[in-house]
Chains A and B, each alone.
With several copies, the nearest count.
Chain A
Amino acid sequence: MALNGKQKKLLFTNLVRAHALDRMMMRIIRAGKMVGFYHEGGIALAPGVAAGSFLRQDDAMNPHYRAHGLAHMIGKGVDLRTYVAEHMGRVDGCCKGRSSFHVSFPDHHIFGWSGNIGANFPPCIGYGFAARYRGTDQVVMNCSGDGSYQEGRAHEAMLMSANWKLPHIFWCENNGISQSTAASETFPVQDVSRLAATFEIPALIVDGQDLFACGEAALKAIAHARAGKGPFFVELKTYRSQEHNVGGLNNEGAVTRDPKLMQEWRETLDPVALAAAKLIKQRLYTADEIEQIKADAEREADEIELFCEASPKATPSIDELMNGVYAQ
């Protein structure tokens, strides 16, 4: 499905914002102000931006945990101040400073993830089930990495969503690695989307560095699911050009990945630069406009950071916490 100019601009703006925020998150964690982990997005933000930019508020989404769903949730329209505040353990955090990085935005049908990779699959069956049960045309955008598809839970989700023709989009951001293990070490075949064929789920393989290719795939998948045609699988080939988590290792097995190769990826595969060049060529933006978008994104990130700094650390009493274990 071809993108129109407005859609391209939206995607680009969201990608630039995601990029600025990912940098800001890196500043915060390096300054020791973040609680818990951060798993940098780096040059792998385009798939997430595309996944989120064309969804409705009532579409359910499980954001990929990489970049902690930042790219995904930007398009979804959540309040990013409370997202970052949560990462900083502040009272204004979207989960009152309790969730670490497992943020949730129930009004946006983003219900928060758990610490287990692969735990995204079962709930997403439920979101699709609920849509079908109620007869709505909501879709489910289920984003996760290649590693998560090794979990048996992925099989169950594909099987069940195919069986019930649920509006379930499997959005697999394949960077060819899980933590410190190359996919070739643990996954017997090249393309994760092969799994879809078993269940007759239509699948696309997309260049995850090409923002607009990702956007087109998202439109196609969403249209398919929204029309009641059942699940859809999109595999987006991308790269991890830095360590798994901030302060962690950047290894494949026992071997550190070649820093030169990483550097080369960052230089040649930067989705912002690639998309900007296209937009300029297509005369949708001038170079100046692009600089303005970047400056706006930086300002947004700075404002969010300031807001969060000003928010007090969340240290509620045990009594208050105990009152929150059960819903009324």
Chain B
Amino acid sequence: MNAKGQDKMSTTREITLGDAMKEALAEEMRRDEDVFLLGISIRAGTFLYTKGLVDEFGGKRVIDAPLAEPGNFGVAYGAAQEGLRPVLDWMYAGFSYFAGSEVFLQSGQYHFLHGSQHPLPLTMIGTCGVGRRVGNEHATLPYGALIHHPGLKVCLPSTPYDAKGLLKSAIRDNNPVFFLWHTSLMATKGHVPLEDYVVPLGVADVKRAGSDVTVLASGLQLHHSLKAAEALKDEISVEVIDPRSFEPFDLDCLLRSVEKTSRLVIVDEDYERAGFAAEVCALMMEKGYDLLDAPVKRVCHPNMPIPGGYIDAYSMPTPDRIEAAIREVCR
């Protein structure tokens, strides 16, 4: 994995993605008194990245919310309109559907429909990801649905470095940003500088350089794709791109890569139909058609609800399925 960014920094250490998120939250809260954190049982830390924050910042700024998703959204949305910079933790991103109207429609429309005159600095955090055997609401990756609805920004990091940098960008952004993280990556370790830095939203990252085929993948699937690329390294030179944010989406980075490789596989753990992968196919039609030597291929979760049990291990894209897809487009 590339270590972009770290080089310029004097000091880095290996920490987990969860700890990187915690650092982002703590640093932004120190930086700006208007930042506060709201979520169900976050003081205890259902997920480790909120654990201990209440000790530093107190109960006023780290708030255990009731079980009331629309209400909790409202706290964040209303406070953001009043000029605060709330961070709302949904625990599982799938729970945010309980406030579907607020999340999908109201948050993204507010600024634009009211004349683009007033910002909405609202960060939402939620975990997602297939493979934990618990099924649908606890696994649902809502980014395909989120980016369909204009006005939201949406990101999903694959490394601790990106997690910290994206979360800081999200909190400093004047728009609603849904920061997703993959449940299976919470304990993944990686280099993170000690210095303050951000990863801007809308800048993709070439996580592995290659020349025969481009693979676009996020979150856990970035790692699955790197595995597939590694397994194929003696046959096919695979470039692996991590969009990091789905909206804004760094189409230029992708087009530059496909200009070189002429082939594209999109790996997407979300439901296949009308999701992010479909959008990238459409963008390739519109902006990259002449670059392609073969049709773009999607490797996604099939169009069925995400099952629990032993099934989700293979219903999601696996390194094997990605490898097969790469071979297919390179035939």
- Say whether B129 faces chain A, with CB atoms less than 8 Å apart: no
Are A253 and B137 touching (Cβ within 8 A)?
no
Are A96 and B115 touching (Cβ within 8 A)?
yes
User: Inter-chain contact count A-B, CB under 8 Å?
Assistant: 277
Are B116 and A96 touching (Cβ within 8 A)?
yes
Q: Residue B71 contacts which of A60, A93, A100, A125 (CB distance < 8 angstroms)? A: A125
Q: Residue B309 contacts which of A99, A163, A181, A254 (CB distance < 8 angstroms)? A: A99
- Say whether A127 faces chain B, with CB atoms less than 8 Å apart: yes
**A161 to B212, alpha carbons, bound, how many Å?**
59
- Say whether A160 faces chain B, with CB atoms less than 8 Å apart: yes
Are B40 and A121 touching (Cβ within 8 A)?
no
- Say whether B138 faces chain A, with CB atoms less than 8 Å apart: yes
- Listed stretches B9-17, B104-112, B178-186, B226-234; interface member: B104-112
Are A150 and B66 touching (Cβ within 8 A)?
yes
Are A325 and B151 touching (Cβ within 8 A)?
yes
Q: Residue A36 contacts which of B68, B174, B308 (CB distance < 8 angstroms)? A: B308
Are A133 and B67 touching (Cβ within 8 A)?
no
A125 proximity list for chain B (CB < 8 A): 71, 74-75, 78
A48 proximity list for chain B (CB < 8 A): none
Are A322 and B114 touching (Cβ within 8 A)?
no
**Of residues 120 to 155 in B, which have CB atoms within 8 Å of A's CB atoms?**
120, 132-138, 150-151, 153
**A155 to B304, alpha carbons, bound, how many Å?**
32
Q: Residue B134 contacts which of A37, A96, A152, A253 (CB distance < 8 angstroms)? A: A37
A324 proximity list for chain B (CB < 8 A): 111-112, 115-116, 304
- Say whether B211 faces chain A, with CB atoms less than 8 Å apart: no
A35 and B309 contact, Cβ closer than 8 Å, known pairs A130-B84, A152-B71: yes
Q: Residue B60 contacts which of A133, A316, A321 (CB distance < 8 angstroms)? A: A133
- Mask, A148-172, CB within 8 Å of B = 1, is 1011110011011001000000000
**A262 to B84, alpha carbons, bound, how many Å?**
40
Are B174 and A251 touching (Cβ within 8 A)?
no
- Chain B residue nearest to A140 in the complex (CB): B78
- Listed stretches B91-99, B214-222, B252-260, B279-287; interface member: B91-99
Are A325 and B92 touching (Cβ within 8 A)?
no
**Of residues 310 to 328 in A, which have CB atoms within 8 Å of B's CB atoms?**
313-316, 318, 321-328
Q: Residue A156 contacts which of B71, B83, B97 (CB distance < 8 angstroms)? A: B71
Are A126 and B75 touching (Cβ within 8 A)?
yes
CB distance from B55 to the nearest CB of A (A): 7
- Say whether A249 faces chain B, with CB atoms less than 8 Å apart: yes
- Say whether B3 faces chain A, with CB atoms less than 8 Å apart: no
A121 and B71 contact, Cβ closer than 8 Å, known pairs A36-B135, A115-B94, A181-B64: yes
- Say whether A272 faces chain B, with CB atoms less than 8 Å apart: no
- Say whether A89 faces chain B, with CB atoms less than 8 Å apart: yes
CB distance from B63 to the nearest CB of A (A): 9
Are B150 and A112 touching (Cβ within 8 A)?
no
CB distance from B172 to the nearest CB of A (A): 12
A123 and B74 contact, Cβ closer than 8 Å, known pairs A98-B309, A251-B44, A327-B175: yes
- Say whether A202 faces chain B, with CB atoms less than 8 Å apart: no
- Chain B residue nearest to A160 in the complex (CB): B71
B51 proximity list for chain A (CB < 8 A): 254
Are B118 and A104 touching (Cβ within 8 A)?
yes
Are A116 and B98 touching (Cβ within 8 A)?
yes
A126 and B304 contact, Cβ closer than 8 Å, known pairs A95-B115, A116-B98, A314-B311: no
Are B111 and A325 touching (Cβ within 8 A)?
yes
**A112 to B112, alpha carbons, bound, how many Å?**
12
Are A159 and B71 touching (Cβ within 8 A)?
yes
- Mask, A219-238, CB within 8 Å of B = 1, is 00000000000000000000
Are B46 and A249 touching (Cβ within 8 A)?
yes
- Mask, B52-73, CB within 8 Å of A = 1, is 1011000010001111111101
The 24 sampled A-B contact pairs (Cβ below 8 Å) are A60-B78, A89-B308, A98-B112, A98-B115, A100-B309, A106-B118, A111-B118, A112-B110, A114-B101, A115-B94, A116-B94, A125-B74, A126-B76, A126-B80, A126-B81, A147-B67, A159-B66, A181-B41, A181-B43, A251-B43, A253-B43, A324-B116, A325-B116, A325-B150
Q: 3 nearest interchain CB pairs? A: A126-B78, A122-B74, A100-B308
The interface of chain B, by Cβ under 8 A from chain A, is 36, 40-41, 43-46, 51-52, 54-55, 60, 64-71, 73-84, 86, 92, 94-95, 97-99, 101-102, 105-106, 109-120, 132-138, 150-151, 153, 174-175, 302-305, 307-311, 314-315
